[in-house]
Amino acid sequence: MSAAWIDAARPVRSGEALDLDRLAPYLQQALDMPGAPVSALQFPGGHSNLTYLVRIGERELVLRRPPFGAQIKTAHDMDREYAFLSRLAPVYPRVPRPLLLGDEAVLGARFYVMERVRGVVLRSRLPPGLTIGPELARGLSVAAAETLAELHALDIHAAGLAPLGHPDGYVRRQVEGWSRRYAAAVTDEIPAMERVAAWLAEHLPDSGPPTLIHNDFKYDNLVLDPDDLTQVRGVLDWEMATIGDPLMDLGTALCYWVEASDPPELRAFAFGPTALPGSYTRREFAEHYARVTGRSLAQLPFYSAFGLYKTAVVAQQIYLRYVRGHSQDARFAMMIVGVRALADQAERVLAGA
C-alpha cells in the first residue's frame, strides 16, 4: 500500500481560520513546548464541527471546534465529545487520545485537541492511484459491519459511559427532537419530510438493552491501516455519540451505505465507496451485523427510515447555515438536494415495510 493515500489536510477554507496568535501561546504552555512553532491546516471532510491538523514543533495534533456561526449548541458540545473520548480511550484502542479541552477565550468557542491517528480515510473520491477490486470491497464491508458491532459490544458501565446518556425513551425523544429541529431549520417545502416524520411517530419500536452508539458511522469516519485497508485503526467524529438503542446506529450507518442501483441524486451524496462491485448491499451489511450481535432485524424499516430522516435534517441545518451566510463552503449550497433525496429514499423504505 502507499503512504500517499494517508489522509491529508489542506489549506484552511475561507472564513474558518484559527487565530494562531492566541492559539500558539496557549498550546505551547498547555503542552509544555515553549517557543515551538505552531501552524494549522484543515481536513476537507466533515459538514458540522471543523477539524484541523495543528503542528506544534514536530508534533502533529488534531483540533476540533464548532462551525463559525453555529447556533445549535447541543449539536456542537465540545465538552461532551471530549468526555466521550476521555472515557473511551482507555478501553477502546480505535479512538484518538484526547489531550486538552480548550478555553472559549482562546478561539471564541470551546475546542479540544487530540492525538492524530494516521491512516487512510475513504471518501466519495478515492485517493489518487488507489483502486478497490471486488475482494477488497467485500473486506471493507465486513470490517465496517464488525467495527460497528464491536462498538455496540463495549461495556458502557465499566467504561463509565452510562452517565453520558439517557436511554429510557431514547427512540421517542429522537423522533420528536429531530422533528423539532427540522421545523426550526426549514427553508423549502418538502412534503415527504412531513410524511416520514408522521410515520415514525406512529411506529415507535420497543428497544433492547442500551449500548454506546456513535450516531455518525460511515466510511469517512474510519481511519484504515495503509498496509491493509481492511484493518480499522481509528473511529472518528464522536460529536453525536450517546447511549441508546444500537439499532438506531445501524439505521444511520445504512443511510450512508449507497448502492449502485440507487437513484443518481442519492448516489451523488455518497460518503464512501460503498457502491463498488463486491460491496455489501444495505441488507447484507445489516445481516452481517445481526449475525455478529444476535440482534433482530424485524423493525429494520423503522430504523433505516429514521436514519435517512435524521440525516436529511442535518443536511437541512447545514443548508440553513449556508443560506444565512454563516459558511461560504460551496458543498453546502447543494445540501437542499440531499434533503429531498434522503426524504424520497425514506419513503421508498417505508413503502416496502
Q: Where in the chain is the domain with CATH 3.30.200.20?
A: 3-115
**pLDDT given for residue 15 in this prediction:** 87
What does the alpha-carbon distance between residue 148 and residue 286 come to, in Å, rounded to a whole number?
Answer: 11
Output the pLDDT for position 76: 64
CATH 3.30.160.20 fits 3-115, yes or no: no
The pLDDT tens digits of the residues spanning 33-50 come to 999 999 999 998 665 789
pLDDT tens digit string along 274-298?
A: 999 999 999 999 999 999 999 999 9
In CATH, what class is 134-351? alpha beta
pLDDT tens profile 136-159: 999 999 999 999 999 999 999 999
Least confident of 8-12, 44-48, 143-147, 166-170: 44-48
Q: State the pLDDT at residue 245.
A: 98
Task: Pinpoint the residues of the chain covered by CATH 3.90.1200.10.
Answer: 134-351
Task: Calculate mean pLDDT across residues 181-191.
Answer: 96
CB atoms within 10 A of CB 260: 11
Cell output for 66 = 464548532
Is residue 77 predicted with pLDDT exceeding 90?
no
Kindly state the average pLDDT of the residues 90-104.
96
Q: Please give the model's pTM, rounded to 2 decimal places.
A: 0.91
b/e burial code for range 231-246 (CB count within 10 A of at least 16 → b): ebbbbbbbbbbbbbbb
Specify the DSSP element, H or E, that contains 353. none
Distances (CA, A) of 184 to 123, 199, 239: 30, 20, 20
